[in-house]
């Protein structure tokens, strides 16, 4: 039994058609996967640029804070110096009436001699 070309084509034809269909679907899916992959890579690159920009802005802000704002130690130091000075001034003001009275008494003593 010899098989001619048309009989062989009838047997092999459906398999070739199925293989072609599968190849076409595979090619379409692979194309979509590549598109999604390239879109994801572009979005990742954009996110990386945003992250680097935010990191730089944060570093700049930290530097500005360090340059322009006093540290807690500096604030405490200034507060303690101001408190000491205010206490000293308070003592001097509280002693003023006694000193004035003493001067008046001394002046009266001198004028009565």
Check residue 111 and give its pLDDT: 83
Same structural domain for residues 75 and 58?
Answer: no
Same structural domain for residues 18 and 45?
Answer: yes
Q: Residue 105: enclosing H or E segment and its boundaries?
A: helix 72-112
Same structural domain for residues 74 and 63?
Answer: no
Q: How many domains are contained in the chain?
A: 2
Same structural domain for residues 94 and 53?
Answer: no
Check residue 9 and give its pLDDT: 80
Angle (CA) 29-19-36 rounded to 5° is: 5
Q: Residue 93: enclosing H or E segment and its boundaries?
A: helix 72-112
Give me the domain span that covers residue 74: 70-113
Same structural domain for residues 83 and 112?
Answer: yes
Same structural domain for residues 21 and 65?
Answer: yes
Q: Residue 91 and residue 15: Cα distance in Å, rounded? A: 109
Check residue 1 and give its pLDDT: 58
Q: Which parts of the chain sit beneath pLDDT 50?
A: none
What is residue 69's DSSP assignment?
S
Tell me, yes or no, whether 2 lies in a domain.
Answer: no
Check residue 36 and give its pLDDT: 95
């Amino acid at each position: 039994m010899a098989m001619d070309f048309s009989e062989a084509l009838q047997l092999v034809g459906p398999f070739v058609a199925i293989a072609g269909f599968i190849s076409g679907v595979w090619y379409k899916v692979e194309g979509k996967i590549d598109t999604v992959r390239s879109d994801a890579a572009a979005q990742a690159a954009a996110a990386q640029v945003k992250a680097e920009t935010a990191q730089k802005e944060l570093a700049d802000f930290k530097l500005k804070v360090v340059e322009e704002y006093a540290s807690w130690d500096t604030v405490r130091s200034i507060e303690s110096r101001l408190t000491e000075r205010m206490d000293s001034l308070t003592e001097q003001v509280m002693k003023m009436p006694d000193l004035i009275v003493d001067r008046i008494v001394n002046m009266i003593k001198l004028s009565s001699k």
